[in-house]
Amino acid sequence: MHFDLDTLRLFTYVIEEGSIQGGSLRQHIAPSAASRRMNDLENDVGMPLLQRHSRGIQATVVGQVLYTHAKLVLSQLQHADEELKDHRDGATGSTRLSVTMTAMVHYLPPDLSRFLKTYPGIQVDLTEETTNLVVRAVQNGTADLGICAPASPVSGLIEAPYRMDRLTLIVPSAHRFAGLGEVRFADTLGEDYVGMQAGSSIHTLMEQEAKALGARLKLRIQVTSFEAIRNMVGVGVGIGILPEIALGTTPQSAYVQVRLAEPWCDRPLKILRSAEHPLSPAAKLLVAALASER
C-alpha cells in the first residue's frame, strides 16, 4: 500500500480539527480537494477511516490506528529534516567540554579532529580537570558536557557511554611482582604506591576498593600525570596503577606491567550532561559524534 505524505498530513489535520474544512485550512487547500483526498485514502485502505456526523468528523477505530502511525512517521521525518539542515546549512556555535587527562590525551584527539572537520563552524572550548571537577563543572553549568569515570552515578546528571578504559599495575623491573602474570589488588596493599592526585577517578577508585578490603593505601607520593607515575615507578619509588592505554608502545625496561585481576579495572568513561538544562545544537551534535565513536 502506497501512502502519500501530503495526504497523510492532511488526514492528521482533519482528525485534529474535527472537520474537512479545518484540515483543509491547515493544509492550505480547498475543502473540495481535501474531501477528494480523504475519499481516495479510504478507498486505498479499503476501510472507512472517518466517521461523519452532524458535529463534525471523528476517526473510526481503523482511522485512529492510521492516525497514530501517521503522526509517528511525520514526526520522524521532521526530526530527520532538522538534523539534515544542520549539515546543509553548516552548523555553527560553541560548546564547553570538561574532561579528565585520560580522555584528553588518549581518546579525544582523533574523535575531536573528525568532529571539527565535519562541523568547521563549531568551536569546542576544552578544559582538563580531575573527575571531581569535571562533575562539578557540568553540575554548575560551567561546562555543557563532561567526560570522566565517576565511581557511581551522579544525581542530576545524565550519562552516556564513551569508552572502556582498562587499568593495569606497573612495578619496578626488580620487584617481586614483576615475574607474575597477574595479582589481586589485596595482595598489593602492603606496598608503597605512587598515586594520582586526590580528586582523580583512579585515586578515588583505589581508595574505595582498599577501604572495602578493610585496608588503606600506602601512598608514598602523589603526582599529576601518568608519565610521572611511570618515571617514579621506574626508579623504584613504589608501584602504580594507571590506564593500560597510557603505557603506549614504548619498550619497558625500568618497569613491568602486571595484570590486576579485578573487575573494577575495566573502567567505563562516560559522557555527562545536565538533566535540567537543555543542550545547545552544537553540544547535541558533539554528544552524537562522541557516542558513535564507541
Q: Per residue in 263-290, pLDDT tens? A: 999 999 999 999 988 888 889 999 999 9
User: Residue 294: what pLDDT?
Assistant: 58
For cell 603526582, name the residue.
Answer: 223
Structural contact between residues 262 and 168, judged by C-beta atoms closer than 8 angstroms: no
Q: For the domain made up of 5-89, give the CATH fold.
A: Arc Repressor Mutant, subunit A (1.10.10)
Counting Cα atoms < 13 Å in the Cβ hemisphere of 254 gives: 13
Homologous superfamily (CATH) of 166-266 is Periplasmic binding protein-like II (3.40.190.10)
Residues 162-201: tens digit of each pLDDT: 999 999 999 999 999 998 989 999 999 999 999 999 888 8
The mean pLDDT value for 30-47 works out to 94
Contacts of 25 (CB under 8 A, 6+ apart): 17
- Residue range 88-105: average pLDDT? 84
**Mean pLDDT on 144-163:** 92
Would you state the pLDDT for residue 151?
Answer: 79
Are 239 and 171 in contact by the 8 Å Cβ rule? The answer is: yes
Mean pLDDT across the stretch 127-148?
A: 93
Cβ atoms of 230 and 170 within 8 Å: the answer is yes
CA–CA separation, 137 and 145 (whole Å): 9
- CATH assignment of 93-162+268-291? 3.40.190.10
Residue bearing cell 589481586? 184
Beta bridge partners of 52: 57
Per-residue confidence (pLDDT) for residue 88, from 0 to 100: 54
Looking at the whole model, is its pTM more than 0.75?
no
Helix (H) or strand (E) segment spanning residue 20:
helix 20-27
Q: Tell me if domain 5-89 and domain 93-162+268-291 are identical in fold.
A: no
What is the average pLDDT score of the chain?
A: 91
User: Measuring CA to CA, which residue among 271, 267, 246 is closest to residue 115?
Assistant: 271
Going by pLDDT thresholds of 50, 70 and 90, the confidence category of residue 29 is very high
Q: Cell numbers of 138, please?
A: 557540568
The domain spans of the chain are 5-89, 93-162+268-291, 166-266
Q: Among residues of the chain, what percentage have pLDDT more than 90?
A: 74
